[in-house]
Amino acid sequence: MPAISAIAPGKAILFGEHAVVYNQPAIAVPVHQVHVKTSVFANPKGKPDEVWIESQAIAMKSWLNQLPDNNALVILIEKYKASQGFQYLPAMRISIHSTIPVAGGLGSGAAVSVSVLRAISAFMGHPLPDEQVSALAYEVEKRHHGTPSGIDNSVITYGQPVYFQRERPIEVIHLGAAFTLVIADSGIKCPTSTAVAGVRQRWLQQPEKYDAYFTRIGCISEQAKALIESGQINALGPLMIENHQLLREIGVSLPQLDLLVTSAINAGALGAKLCGGGLGGNMLALVKPETAEDVSRALLGAGAVRTIITQVEPAR
């Protein structure tokens, strides 16, 4: 029997990370150059609930019921079964292939959740609607870090640029013009939960100061949305630089990330900032298409271990 497969893209946060946890708006875009692909194969000879999972990205080869209860895939599949009223799943093999770097701020965890949910639900004959995919993936995000905003599962589920604010309906942003990003991996790994917990600790110590940072970041996201919609791409550059400065002030940058940002700007980028949780992971630079290669080279020269050049396009 042929496999049923589903793909989910990576993502990058253009504006508003961390502040989004404190109810400010943020903007994220899908990154289609990297993705997770999940394939589900039937096992007609197996017994109910004999679910085999393999993933080279996280070095996993296991029966689902032999994984610990707090494993992200166990949580995801249990939530899926409960949402559908299933007591068990038919015997199957789930193969997960990812090109998204783990713990790098490109949404690898949420992309695994989204692609697994889509593949299993299609295999079961009832593909889940987007809202339900996003909501179930969010449950697993909570396992990854206690207070997720929900931006990762939203942008990855919808596969389009989104303007995201907690407790508000998700808004897809209609681009006025395409734009190009160079995303660079610092090579330093830091779980999002560590960065988010550090910000929370500092916010608890100095709530007014941190609320002011978050409010300013929220204003940047709002301004950026209008510029993206009207196709004023060049004007996004200074907003990115300001957003990076604010992320430094809230304590989630590193000298290596600051160096990448400066190097990108010196090589001709319109703007640059760290993206995602910070304290490592990735940064991104907004570039004119003709300078993308120069900026990419400069970033590799300044210590990046990998770059991705990606075009964010208006939906067709």
**Angstrom distance (rounded) from CA 71 to CA 288:** 42
- φ and ψ at residue 304, rounded to 5 degrees: -65, 145
The interface region with ligand PMV, picked from 17-25, 46-54, 90-98, 288-296 by CB under 6 A, is: 17-25
- Please give the single-letter amino acid code of residue 131: E
Contact 221, 26 (CB under 8 A): yes
Give the Å distances, CA to CA, from 172 to 63, 165, 181, 314: 38, 12, 19, 11
Contact 170, 137 (CB under 8 A): no
Residue whose structure tokens are 């949780």: 277
Q: Can you tell me which of 20, 170, 239, 285 binds ligand PMV, judged by CB under 6 A?
A: 20
Name the minimum Å distance from CB 252 to ligand PMV.
8
Name the minimum Å distance from CB 107 to ligand PMV.
6
For residue 185, give the DSSP letter. Answer: E
Q: Which residue sits closest to ligand PMV, CB atoms considered?
A: 276
Q: Does 192 bind ligand PMV (CB under 6 A)?
A: yes
Cα angle vertex 171, ends 167, 175, to 5°? 155
107 vs 271, beta carbon nearer ligand PMV: 107
* 254-259, Cβ contacts within 8 angstroms, sequence gap of 24 or more: 254/186, 254/188, 254/278, 254/279, 254/280, 256/186, 256/188, 256/280, 256/303, 257/186, 257/283, 259/302, 259/303
Q: Does 151 bind ligand PMV (CB under 6 A)?
A: yes
Q: Does 17 bind ligand PMV (CB under 6 A)?
A: yes
* Two tokens, residue 113: 């959740």
Q: Can you tell me which of 24, 100, 152, 257 binds ligand PMV, judged by CB under 6 A?
A: 152
Name the minimum Å distance from CB 281 to ligand PMV.
6
Q: Does 25 bind ligand PMV (CB under 6 A)?
A: no
- φ and ψ at residue 167, rounded to 5 degrees: 65, 10
Q: Does 159 bind ligand PMV (CB under 6 A)?
A: no
The interface region with ligand PMV, picked from 14-22, 126-134, 172-180, 298-306 by CB under 6 A, is: 14-22
The interface region with ligand PMV, picked from 38-46, 73-81, 148-156, 235-243 by CB under 6 A, is: 148-156
The interface region with ligand PMV, picked from 12-20, 153-161, 200-208, 259-267 by CB under 6 A, is: 12-20
Q: Can you tell me which of 10, 25, 30, 107 binds ligand PMV, judged by CB under 6 A?
A: 107
Write out the residues near ligand PMV by the rule CB under 6 A: 13, 17-18, 20-21, 105, 107, 148-149, 151-152, 192, 196, 276-277
